[in-house]
Structure 1
Amino acid sequence: MRKLLVLVFFLTSTQVFAFGAITNAFNNIATSASSAGASGSSASTDTTKRDKIIKQAQNDAASFVGSDGKIRGIYLEQALEHLRVQYPDIRKASDLALAQAILAY
Structure 2
Amino acid sequence: MKRLSLLAAVGVFALSGLASASSFIATTDTIGASLANSVEGTSDVSSGGSDKVLLQAQDDAASFVASGGAIRGVRLEAALAHIRQQQPALSATDMQLAEAILAR
Offset of 1:19 from its aligned partner? 2.6
Work out whether residues 15 and 93 of structure 1, in 8 Å CA contact, stay in contact via their aligned partners in 2: no
Distance in 2 of aligned mates of 1:19 and 1:89: 14
Stretches of structure 1 that go unaligned for 5 or more consecutive residues are: 1-11, 30-46
Offset of 1:89 from its aligned partner? 3.3
Structure 2 counterparts to residues 43-82 of structure 1, below 5 A: 47=49, 50-82=50-82
Q: Which runs of at least 4 in structure 1 moved beyond 2 Å after TM superposition?
A: 12-20, 24-27
Work out whether residues 58 and 103 of structure 1, in 8 Å CA contact, stay in contact via their aligned partners in 2: yes
Larger Rg: 2
Stretches of structure 2 that go unaligned for 5 or more consecutive residues are: 1-30
Q: TM-score, normalised by structure 1?
A: 0.60
Offset of 1:55 from its aligned partner? 0.3
Name the Cα RMSD after superposition. 2.1
Distance in 2 of aligned mates of 1:85 and 1:21: 14
Matched positions, count: 73
- When residues 88 and 52 of structure 1 are mapped into structure 2, their CA distance, relative to the original with a 3 A threshold, is same
- Matched residue type, 1:54: L
Work out whether residues 46 and 100 of structure 2, in 8 Å CA contact, stay in contact via their aligned partners in 1: no
Offset of 1:18 from its aligned partner? 2.9
- Deviation readout 1:25-64 (Å, 9 max, x if unpaired): 334x2xxxxxxxxxxxxxxxxx2xx111000000000000
- When residues 58 and 15 of structure 1 are mapped into structure 2, their CA distance, relative to the original with a 3 A threshold, is farther
| Equivalence for 1:99 | 98
Higher relative contact order, structure no. (Cα contacts within 8 Å, ≥ 6 residues apart): 1
